[in-house]
Structure 1
Amino acid sequence: MKQATMLSGDLDKRILAVILESADVRNEADLTRLVNGPLREVLPHEMLVCGIGGVSPQGNFVRKFLQFNCPFECYEYYAEMLNSDGRVNSPLMQKWREAQEPVFFQSGRDDEQFPADWVELFNKYKMRNIIGHGVIDLTGSQSSYFIFSRLDGEVGPEHAFLLKIITPHLHLALARAIVDVQEFQAFVGKTGKPLSERQSEILYWMHEGKTNWEIAKILNLTELNVKYHIDQIFSKLDVRSRVNAVAKAHELGLLKAPRG
């Protein structure tokens, strides 16, 4: 009843403005106008990080991301949470993966509900408060994410309710806006080297269950050449088998059908 009461009067109109403008987003510039206009009217905030990436029990891989009004310390906060293999895994992300509901934290109020070392890191960069949500795809391996920080006042269930309503619309807007954004591959595997176009093609056909001989015929290569590229894929993804290579590539969002 309390939530239904929230959706009345001026707030109703502001939420509708976010939904309508989300439907018109076609690129990053459109998304920027949405974030700095109608979205800030519904969820007043200083900073927003959003993007897409892989989802796993060990953490979330970042594929592409956009940031709005994030100072240097915001980047430092996220950088300190990066694992050696490129996963970002805060206690809030863990909680979100389990519940798939908006999650939030208010420094000084919710400290006892989270690990002390994470709270210390959060306070180190004066983040103040944070709330996040996203949409997981039908495979359960990829998701969007929207992380708002330094909201006006204290963040709480009311903000979570509003974010739950608008996130599906933000998800569709982001999907269109982020198409031309460069992929974040600095932490792919041990080497930190992105796959070449040829290696991406071979990885796709590995995913389709093709043998080295079949891949060689499809791509007009020798089997020896295919094997060389597969060895490079293993090295870059830090895996030792085709099955693990395909699984990790799926998790990282690296599987793409060849052009043409």
Structure 2
Amino acid sequence: MHNPHELTDEECGHLARILLASRRVRLRHHFFSWVHGPIQALIPHEILLCGVADESGYLLHERFTACRYFKDDHYHRVIHPGDGLIQQLAQEWHGHGEPRLIAALHDEAGGWHARLGDLELKNLAFHGMSWINGQLKGYAGFSRVRVPFDNRLAMYLDILLPHLLVTLARVLANEARADGDSKRPAGLITPREVEVLTWVRDGKTNDEIADILGLSMLTVKNHLRHAMKKMVVRTRGQAVAKAIALGFLRAQGAQEKEAILEPQT
């Protein structure tokens, strides 16, 4: 029997291929292929939820899924900053610093089984990483995982997470440059103002945005007003158009098309 705290030769081979392949990941579709290619050898899954913090500590969430059942509504509920699943898991992770493994039939106090089923996740293997100041640097959550939820899976998460976050950060940095980041007035609008404008772009009202972000409607209105003042525009539509022109936002639907790459039927 092999040592449960060490990788077998076969596992070492899988890990080497994962790390070597990560060096070629530069764009979002490369990341998707990497996650649903080499990484599947160690953590076979259908949904990856992940995020990295920017320089201000603001968490940038991403999803890479081949599951047609995991819809926009599920994703928005998962990343909700107030009572979202990621928020709760991050808090639990901070308390222990160990991977959080929630199997399909797991049902402790808190009703995890029902909640994951409602969100079309089925199961979840979550791990995080902190900055030296204790703030969350990034996280990854694999769902619809098809291996036992045991110490082996926890070890895979522990080994892979730093490489996954570095690779994701590289992809996001490349996207920022491709979107004309160098042309943006540095620091013009804050990450939170960008987030509010993103939901304005998607047709949400102030009330709806407040509910999605876990803020008061007055706070949402203030973020929008500040962004409009900084960009010297008078209407919500003008604010969205200006933010897209400056490279802070993508055009309608662009992010969704790139972030969710489902197999063609």
The TM-score with structure 2 as length reference comes to 0.60
The one-letter code sitting in structure 2 at the alignment partner of 1:98 is G
Q: Which has a greater percent of strand?
A: 1
Number of residue pairs matched? 192
Which residue of 1 is the match for residue 10 of structure 2?
10
Judging changes above 3 Å, is the alpha-carbon distance between structure 1 residues 93 and 15 closer, same or farther for their aligned structure 2 residues?
Answer: same
Which residue of 2 is the match for residue 107 of structure 1?
104
Q: Identity over aligned residues, as a percent?
A: 21
The one-letter code sitting in structure 1 at the alignment partner of 2:16 is L
1:168-187 equivalent positions in 2, closer than 5 A: 168-179=162-173, 180=175, 185=195, 186=199, 187=213
What SS does the corresponding residue of 2:4 show, helix, strand or coil? helix
Pick the aligned partner of 1:96 from 93, 98, 105: 93
What SS does the corresponding residue of 1:111 show, helix, strand or coil? coil
1:1-260 equivalent positions in 2, closer than 5 A: 2-5=3-6, 7-53=7-53, 62-73=59-70, 75-81=72-78, 89=86, 91-108=88-105, 110-112=106-108, 114-116=109-111, 118-179=112-173, 180=175, 185=195, 186=199, 187=213, 189=215, 190-191=219-220, 193=223, 196=227
Given that 2:130 and 2:138 are in contact with CA atoms closer than 8 Å, whether structure 1 keeps it comes out as yes
What SS does the corresponding residue of 1:144 show, helix, strand or coil? strand
Unaligned runs of at least 5 residues, structure 2: 180-190, 200-212, 232-265
What SS does the corresponding residue of 1:145 show, helix, strand or coil? strand
| Aligned-pair Cα RMSD in Å | 3.4
Cα distance per residue 1:103-126 (max 9 Å; x no partner): 110132x312x412x432222244
Given that 2:80 and 2:87 are in contact with CA atoms closer than 8 Å, whether structure 1 keeps it comes out as no
Task: Return the alpha-carbon distance in structure 2 between the equivalents of residues 90 and 83 of structure 1.
Answer: 7
Judging changes above 3 Å, is the alpha-carbon distance between structure 1 residues 89 and 176 closer, same or farther for their aligned structure 2 residues?
Answer: closer
Task: Return the alpha-carbon distance in structure 1 between the equivalents of residues 88 and 3 of structure 2.
Answer: 28
Task: Return the alpha-carbon distance in structure 1 between the equivalents of residues 71 and 126 of structure 2.
Answer: 15
Task: Return the alpha-carbon distance in structure 1 between the equivalents of residues 76 and 61 of structure 2.
Answer: 15
Judging changes above 3 Å, is the alpha-carbon distance between structure 1 residues 31 and 92 closer, same or farther for their aligned structure 2 residues?
Answer: same
Given that 1:129 and 1:154 are in contact with CA atoms closer than 8 Å, whether structure 2 keeps it comes out as no
Judging changes above 3 Å, is the alpha-carbon distance between structure 1 residues 75 and 156 closer, same or farther for their aligned structure 2 residues?
Answer: farther
Question: What displacement does 1:156 show?
Answer: 2.2
Judging changes above 3 Å, is the alpha-carbon distance between structure 1 residues 73 and 30 closer, same or farther for their aligned structure 2 residues?
Answer: closer
Pick the structure with greater CA Rg. Answer: 1
Question: What displacement does 1:76 show?
Answer: 3.4
Unaligned runs of at least 5 residues, structure 1: 55-59, 201-260
